[in-house]
Amino acid sequence: MFGKRQSTSAALLAVAILAGACGGGAAPTPGSTGPAPVGTSSATAQVNPNGTTVDPDGFVRFPGEASRPADGHYYLVEDLCGQFTKTFMEGLTGKTFVKVAPPDSTGAIECDYFFSTLEQGGAVAFLILNLSYLNVANQKTGLLALGRSPTTDPSIPMDNWVVRAEDGHLVSIYFLLGTDKFLILDRTAASATEAEMLAYAAKLGAKMKDFR
């Protein structure tokens, strides 16, 4: 039913196998940099008792990770649905999602954003955000070995790859967060056009260009 998610996971697995001899990154252990002032707010954000900060557009900033340097950067966390909320993604895309949830059984660090639109065959169309802790250089090598072409798009204001298949169609968009961490924006066929995907990516890049 969810063929595109399976395609994404298979591609990541294939890249990991191809690059496995070179090693890969491991997920950092979440930690804390200390609680934020409880109950404070400003014209731009609301700080919650649990230390998270909610931007006016619905995006959630978490306190940090053990690996976070003292440079003021925020980190993307593994709770993608809790960070890239339904409110945030609806505002970013201008579309309505009937369901926002992680996958049931793949084990991926992922959030899926479901439309009411159906794919051919009756499957539900959805957007995908997938977080991986694989080595970026090895990932590129693996993509090339699979016949996919990662190139940088200057409209996305952070390190990125727009990955295309040999026939030129857009496969997915990578946001490079470090040497061993990246976020992937993906989709099922009926959920977004290539132009929409690039527009979403530019907005996502602007939001998290200072994230790690």
70-103 pLDDT tens trace: 555 667 889 999 999 999 999 999 999 999 999 8
46 located within any domain: no
pLDDT at 8: 54
pLDDT at 53: 87
Query: What residue has token string 């970013």?
Result: 92
Query: What residue has token string 């084990």?
Result: 107
CB 107 within 8 A of CB 92: no
Measured between alpha carbons, how far is 48 from 50 in angstroms, rounded to an integer?
5
pTM for this model (two decimals): 0.77
Would you give the DSSP letter of residue 190? T
53 located within any domain: no
Measured between alpha carbons, how far is 125 from 116 in angstroms, rounded to an integer?
7
Sign, CA torsion 118/96/202/182: negative
pLDDT at 11: 53
41 located within any domain: no
pLDDT at 79: 92
84 located within any domain: yes
| pLDDT under 70: residue ranges of the chain | 1-43, 64-74
Would you give the DSSP letter of residue 123? P
51 located within any domain: no
pLDDT at 210: 80
| Overall domain count for the chain | 1
pLDDT at 75: 79
pLDDT at 24: 37
45 located within any domain: no
Structural element, H or E, at residue 196:
helix 194-208
Q: Which domain holds residue 23?
A: 3-32+58-208
Structural element, H or E, at residue 47:
strand 46-47
48 located within any domain: no
